[in-house]
Amino acid sequence: MAILSILKYPDPRLHKIAKPVQEVDDRVRQIVKDMTETMYDAQGIGLAATQVDIHERIVVIDISEERNDLLVLINPQITARSDDKTVYEEGCLSVPGIYDKVERTSEITVEALNEQGEKFSLEADGLLAICIQHELDHLVGKVFVEHLSSLKQNRIRTKIKKAEREAKREAQRV
């Protein structure tokens, strides 16, 4: 297993559209293991393959407090959405330190393959529904900040670039 490098917004690779997994084999299972280790190491609750520069439809999620309830979604697709909406403050491993409110569907049904390549369906609400929608956005090249106003997006880009400059200056001093 390996800790993978997480792409940071506004890296253009975050906007690539992920391709469907053709076969769930040992290669895909290794990607899932590496993504899982990366997500846990980064203290995240979800990670899409796009975020680690693998452009295949793979997502790992664990919203449990104990970090022992891993959900693997391969080729996930939302098949039903409630009419109800909810607003939740989201963050993202690809946009560190930035949190903002995003409106999403309250309840969804998702179909996917598991690590054995078996098809399953899952009804989700609350944080799990939010997290699934957030991660599936990554698979179509969308980062959560793109749900925000263009003014907020510009402020976030400016804040990230400033933090990068400060980190480079600090690294040069060492």
Estimate to the nearest angstrom the gap between the alpha carbon of 52 and the chain centroid: 10
- Which residue among the candidates 103, 118, 135, 166 is catalytic per the annotation? 135
**Is 131 annotated as contributing to ligand binding?**
no
Query: Any known ligand binding at 15?
Result: no
- Widest Cα–Cα separation across the chain: 54
Question: Beta-strand (E) ranges in the chain?
Answer: 46-48, 58-61, 71-81, 85-92, 95-105, 107-113, 119-125
E strand or H helix that includes residue 102: strand 95-105
**AA letter at 91:** G
Q: Are 87 and 32 in contact (CB under 8 A)?
A: no
* Annotation says 135 is catalytic: yes
Residue ranges of the annotated binding site are 92, 134, 138
Catalytic residues: 135
Residue ranges of the annotated binding site for Fe cation are 92, 134, 138
